[in-house]
Amino acid sequence: MEKMNLYHTSNVIIENPDIKRGRENADFGQGFYLTSDYEFCKRWILQDAYINVYELDIEELDVVRFERDQKWFDYIFNNRRKNDKINADVIIGPIANDTIYETYGVLSSGFIQPSDAAKLLQVGPQYTQVAIKSLKAREKLKWIKADFVPADDGMKNLRFKEEETYQKQLSEAMEEIG
């Protein structure tokens, strides 16, 4: 068996996630989103919360893995327009920064070349997300426990500092292209 330990932050304990509850226009389309990085989950805690801990057996599942590249960019861009073109049980890949629309808009208007757009999307830290997309995958997702985590301004501040650093790096990258 090939298993993954996964985490999801919420203000409630989620023993039985609903894969149809999430937004249709999320990075990897509608599904239940998790990460393999426990510390990353803590960055999203703005008030007291739970980090739900799961184990996913990916054996016998159709798993699509992305790197931060053009295929990933195109897939996310389509999903943000509610046009999911991949039928898989699980999608694993980087979380998109929030400039993906702007990057695509600048690219399609002819202001930058595709290779420059790809450079912009490489800016910033890379965190992995895992989207559970099918009932078959949901059945193989086992809830283990939920850790109560009080709001921690230190983690929230770390997230905000990381965002400031990202904005600076993005600005520098755009000047290089510019």
Q: Is the CB of residue 54 less than 8 Å from the CB of residue 6?
A: yes
Separation between Cα atoms, residue 78 and residue 26, nearest integer Å? 10
Amino acid sitting at position 128: T
For position 102, what pLDDT does the model report? 62
- Cα 97–103–104 angle (5° rounding)? 115
CB within 8 Å of 146: residues ≥ 6 apart = 13, 14, 50, 51, 52, 53
Average pLDDT over residues 171-176: 80
Tokens representing residue 113 in the block: 């070349």
Write the DSSP symbol of residue 35: B
Question: How many other CB atoms are there within 10 angstroms of residue 34's CB atom?
Answer: 26
pTM of the model: 0.84
Amino acid sitting at position 30: Q
CA distances from 127 to 26, 87, 130 (A): 15, 23, 10
Among 21-25, 49-53, 86-90, 99-103, the least confident range: 99-103
Q: Which of 45, 49, 20 is nearest to 32 (CA)?
A: 20
Average pLDDT over residues 58-80: 90
Contacts by residues 98-107 (CB-CB < 8 Å, ≥ 24 positions apart): 99/170, 100/73, 100/76, 101/77, 103/73, 104/73, 104/77
For position 46, what pLDDT does the model report? 82
Give the chain's radius of gyration (CA, Å).
17
Separation between Cα atoms, residue 49 and residue 34, nearest integer Å? 15
The string of pLDDT tens digits covering residues 86-109 is: 999 999 999 876 665 566 566 666
For position 145, what pLDDT does the model report? 98
Q: Is 59 exposed, middle or buried (0-12, 13-18, 19+ CB in 10 A)?
A: exposed
Average pLDDT over residues 63-71: 92
